[in-house]
Amino acid sequence: MPTLRPRWRPWRAMLAVSLLSCAAPLRHAMAQHADKLHVALTSERVLNAVAIADDGRRFVSFPYWGGGGSSGPTVAEIDASGQTHAFPDARWNHPDGTKGMLQPFVRVNAIRIGPDGLLWVVDSGDANVGGPPSSTGGAPARLLAFDIMTGAVVHALSLHAASTPHSYMDDIRFHNDTIFVTDAGDPALVVVNLTTGAQRRVLAHDRSTTDERPMYAEGKLLRVHGQPARIHADQLEVSPDGQILYFQPSSGPMWTVPTAALENPALPATDLARAVNLFYNTPSSGGSAIDGDGNLYVSDVDRLRILRITPQGKASTLIHDKRLVWADAMWIDSHGVLWIPAVQLNRTATFQSDDVSRVRLPVAIYTMDLHLKPVR
């Protein structure tokens, strides 16, 4: 097995005015020196997410656009020596022609250890963000939850009812018995009731879920097949008190909405849309995290930095480092350490005009020991 070595529409003008008025001046008092960024793991395959269990066990995922199509597992646990081990087992990580909810992983986009201690996996199925419509007979998007002690499947939820032919289920967060999922392919949020299995698409094609701005990474416009890339509803976080959902398209800006409004199926769509508020004019982003005090950590993939945004919308630069090329799904572990995968998504073949990867291996996961308060 490979080794991970430890180490504009009519609202646009109004939106522009709102962004200028709400975005607080960026402060640099929180900036850290580069030596605060430590190499935790390196990989010869492109990965995009890390999740650390409270007992210290480390899990990563390899997306199809980077390392998922090459030799090796799609979801893996990393042991103390840096060796990867397919999780939950080899069968789940190697398509074998079977179909159904318990078929092997198809296209994993995100992993996360939930408040229940399970490892949740977002498998987007036979879908490709920005690609052709999904086949009606293809594997649907699904949410899978595994017991990390036994590897047993605890939940297997199809997202077929909440998907469209252009859906690409992207990331996941939790609030009580509700699961929030972002659809990066066909802009929307998906609200899933874990108890009943009911699921709803909300804020579909709303300005808050739709990528309407050009994305930049390392100073260059992000393109796919010669066209500006569009990654719709992507990052999301739930406030520590569970009352607010923060969310955004990958291009920004970031919005908020009360979780109570999202969880009320009787609330008319127009009223829900009115409950959405602009929070901060975030730049093109690859990933986010939130601490127990409600501070958000958002990557800036253009300027290679991590922003720290307070619940009041005041931003500062946590760290600026040339190694942070497309910082993706971050994690705050039980010891208050911030984990930052720098996955170089913008350098992968998908975003190159000649379809030739510019990724400089190995990719790395960095850590910053900030003594943060974790939240699950």
Q: State residue 11's pLDDT score.
A: 40
Q: State residue 97's pLDDT score.
A: 80
The secondary structure of the chain in percent helix, strand, coil, rounded to multiples of 5, reads 10, 35, 55
139-171 exposure pattern, b = at least 16 Cβ within 10 A, e = fewer: bbbbbbbbebeeeebebebbbeebbeebbbbbb
Q: Give whole-number Cα distances, 310 to 71, 84, 166, 239, 314, in Å.
A: 41, 36, 34, 11, 5
Of 32, 24, 64, the C-alpha closest to 48 is 64
Lowest mean pLDDT of 188-192, 234-238, 275-279, 351-355, name the range: 351-355
Cα separation of 47 and 61, whole Å? 6
Cα separation of 193 and 173, whole Å? 12
pLDDT digits (tens, 9 = 90+) for 25-63: 444 334 444 459 999 999 999 999 999 999 999 999 998
Q: CA 174, 123, 136 angle in degrees (round to 5)? A: 120
- Residue 17 pLDDT exceeds 80: no
Residues in contact with 307: Cβ distance below 8 Å, sequence separation at least 6, in sequence order: 26, 282, 283, 296, 297, 298, 299, 300, 315, 316, 317, 318
Q: How confident is the model at residue 318 (pLDDT cuts 50, 70, 90)?
A: very high
Mean pLDDT of the chain: 89
Cα separation of 110 and 49, whole Å? 6
Residue 9, both tokens: 């529409």
- Residue 24 pLDDT exceeds 60: no
- Are the C-beta atoms of residues 221 and 246 closer than 8 Å to each other? no
Q: Residues 282-310: what's their mean pLDDT? A: 98
Number of helices (H), then strands (E), belonging to the chain: the values are 3, 29
Distance between the two ends of the chain, CA-based, in angstroms?
A: 31
Tell me the pTM. Answer: 0.90
DSSP label at residue 44: S
Residue 167, both tokens: 């859906």
Residue 357, Cβ density class (10 Å: 0-12 exposed, 13-18 middle, ≥19 buried): middle
* Domain 5-369 part of CATH 1.20.1740.10: no
Q: State residue 350's pLDDT score.
A: 87
- Residue 5 pLDDT exceeds 60: no
205: left (phi over 0), alpha (psi -120 to 50) or beta: left
| Phi, psi (degrees; rounded to nearest 5) at 119 | -90, 110
Q: How confident is the model at residue 130 (pLDDT cuts 50, 70, 90)?
A: low
Cα separation of 181 and 174, whole Å? 9
Residue 55, Cβ density class (10 Å: 0-12 exposed, 13-18 middle, ≥19 buried): exposed
